[in-house]
Structure 1
Amino acid sequence: MPEQRTGRFGGLGLTADQELLYLHLLSAPSGTAQQLGAALGVGTDRAVTALEGLADCGLLERPGTAGPVWSVAAPDVALEELLLRREVELRRTRGRINELMRNYRSSRPASSAGELVEVITGRDSVAELWRTLQLGVRTQLRILDKPPYIRRSDPELELAALARGVQIRAVYESRVLREAERMAEIRTFAEAGEQARVLPELPLKLAVVDDRWALLPVSAGTELQSVLLVRPSSLLAALTGLFELYWSRAMRLPAPDSAQPPQDRHGQLLALLAAGLTDESIARQLGVSTRTVQRWVRELMDRFGARTRFQAGIQAARADLL
């Protein structure tokens, strides 16, 4: 029988055979190695190896003097103890990061400046680096989001970060919001806790991860083939300041709610118009039809006695609605 992986205990470092045997023993709490190997189709030798590993982890009790029967330990106590051991190991590994970085740098003939800025080339390498940074973010992630993209994003990574309490702030270039699929994804992030704003244009793509790294393209071309990974330095501080500048200028991306009072609805509409969104993009963002958006725009123009959208925006700014 080929190896299978359930994925339920991947974080505990169990092998596929160990996961298979452990799950089986939870419902059939004991058995000999021969019986278990035959029942699961892995053979006696593989079963013994897996059982020994589970016993080393404290999840099983080894056979005693009564016979060659393996039995499962109570999972509430056994798993808790194993989790604690894994957490200690992870903290020790994290404590060795600086040592590992020293070894990494000593093996490269780069200058001190080169240690602060690293060039990563290749679409797959860039995508994997971004995935690693998202998995490693601890407190906050700041993003300037604009095309081009390496590949389709993995929403689960951001949702997982939000779920563990990471603060995520993103400023989107307005043309990103013209794609219905991307707009739906951003709405999902916002509902999960992302703070989203929008501007007509952004100067570059940028991600600042905690205060430890920044990621940005080498060039602003149509193909994203190479990126710069910036470590703590005055350059990282400058890029963080750049994000904060554009964040302060950006319009808040309102949540869709067509049932709100007209004055609130008009405030949302003005913000999206000022951000440069088209009627179609605004309709998708607010969850209404394009015709409804056009009607609301006419209402605003009538409200301010304006002949054009631009005039309506000027009047709204004077009235402190933007």
Structure 2
Amino acid sequence: MTPHAFRTAPGGLLDGLGLPEAEQSAYLRVLAAPHCTPAQLADQLSVTERRAERILVALASYGLVHRAGRDPVRWSAAAPDVAVEALLLRREEELCRTRGRVGELMRAYRRVQQPQADDLVEVVTGQAAIADRWRQLQDGARRQLLLFDKPPHIARADVDLERSLIARGVRIRAVYEAGSVGAPGRLAEIRDVVGAGEEARLLPELPCKLAVVDDRWAMLPVAAGSELRAALLVRASSLLDALTGMFEAYWHRAVRVPGAPPPERAAADRRAELLTLLSAGFTDDSIARQLGVSTRTVQRWVREVMDALGARTRFQAGIQAARAGLL
């Protein structure tokens, strides 16, 4: 191979090594010749001989070239399988060290950006602090309150507070996860609040706990888990708009919870209550606990409702009940 064999070689052949283009080109030319002098290299690269000498010294620092024997003028390329591999390993180590500094860079970035972010998102830590802030948000509600009711809970619902909100014109809409109403009598409590003016719906599962107050605030957990240790308070922003949109999407998919019937209609209203629980994904055992009857009784009622609606599955029963306006 002649000294000019790499003159038209495609550029970037050694880009992965982090070498400047001139040094890459010089290495390829030294590699193509048994020996190379600074004068020869200068001619091939169209640079001065002094510049060529500096390039060779730089390549030597990478281990890619070395002086040929005892001749201080002639240079030879090191074997690529050894020299390039060693340089690649060194490059990988540098990249790993740089990756390890990303966290430090992010801390510096946040120190500049955080003052702006603090205006939009605040972290509230500790169950007592979360409960106090939640009470403050409810007290400040003017127009509407949107809720995803999902375990874990840090306090029982304040029915009196909710009634006072409704009384002053705040519209309350709540979607309850099945796990939130599993305790005996809980569904009856929800129906009482519905009777006072809350609009309630049920779903088998919700993505997170969530409360949206007007178009000003939202509160949701920092992380999912069995304990609520920290919460995010989101102020008016595109994030708040997105959380409101998420609520609306789940609201339209959920099953309506009817209010408590008057005593004279309690027995007649059993079917609506049963259909509500069925459509929300409750099991027979869960329905039995809610209604205070045996599982066998629930199974019998389910068969009767399915026969009356002409449904072959529980899901079909829910769909047909919704179409018939029974939910």
Identify whether the pair has TM-score above 0.5, normalized to the shorter chain: yes
Q: Is the 8 A contact 2:137 2:213 kept in 1?
A: yes
Q: Which moves more between the two structures, 276-285 or 195-204?
A: 276-285
**Unaligned ranges ≥5, structure 1:** 1-107
Q: 2:281 aligns with which of 260, 271, 276?
A: 276
Structure 1 partner of 2:229:
225
How far off is 1:316 after superposition?
A: 5.7
**Unaligned ranges ≥5, structure 2:** 1-111
Alignment partners' CA distance in 2, 1:189 and 1:279? 24
Report 1:58-137 matches (<5 A). 110-137=114-141
Instruction: State yes or no: 1:202 paired with 2:206.
Output: yes
Q: Is the 8 A contact 2:305 2:317 kept in 1?
A: yes
- RMSD, matched Cα: 3.1
Instruction: State yes or no: 1:245 paired with 2:249.
Output: yes
Alignment partners' CA distance in 1, 2:259 and 2:285? 16
Q: Is the 8 A contact 2:194 2:260 kept in 1?
A: no
Report 1:150-299 matches (<5 A). 150-257=154-261, 266=271, 268-279=273-284, 281-282=286-287, 293-299=298-304
Secondary structure of the 1:241 match is helix
Please report the TM-score for the alignment, with normalisation by the length of structure 1.
0.58
Q: Percent identity?
A: 63
Alignment partners' CA distance in 1, 2:273 and 2:187? 16
Q: How many residues align?
A: 215
How far off is 1:164 after superposition?
A: 1.2
Letter in 2 for 1:188: D
Name the CA shift for 1:265/1:211 in 2 (closer, same or farther; >3 Å).
Answer: same
How far off is 1:161 after superposition?
A: 0.8
Please report the TM-score for the alignment, with normalisation by the length of structure 2.
0.57
- Cα-to-partner distance string for 1:194-217 (whole Å, 9 max, x where unaligned): 000000000100000011000000
- Cα-to-partner distance string for 1:13-49 (whole Å, 9 max, x where unaligned): xxxxxxxxxxxxxxxxxxxxxxxxxxxxxxxxxxxxx
Name the CA shift for 1:115/1:209 in 2 (closer, same or farther; >3 Å).
Answer: same
Q: Is the 8 A contact 1:177 1:281 kept in 2?
A: no
Structure 1 partner of 2:142:
138
Alignment partners' CA distance in 2, 1:314 and 1:185? 25
Q: Which moves more between the two structures, 176-185 or 186-195?
A: 176-185
Instruction: Tell which structure's C-alpha radius of gyration is larger.
Output: 2
Alignment partners' CA distance in 2, 1:197 and 1:138? 22
How far off is 1:281 after superposition?
A: 4.7
- Cα-to-partner distance string for 1:74-125 (whole Å, 9 max, x where unaligned): xxxxxxxxxxxxxxxxxxxxxxxxxxxxxxxxxx993312210110101111
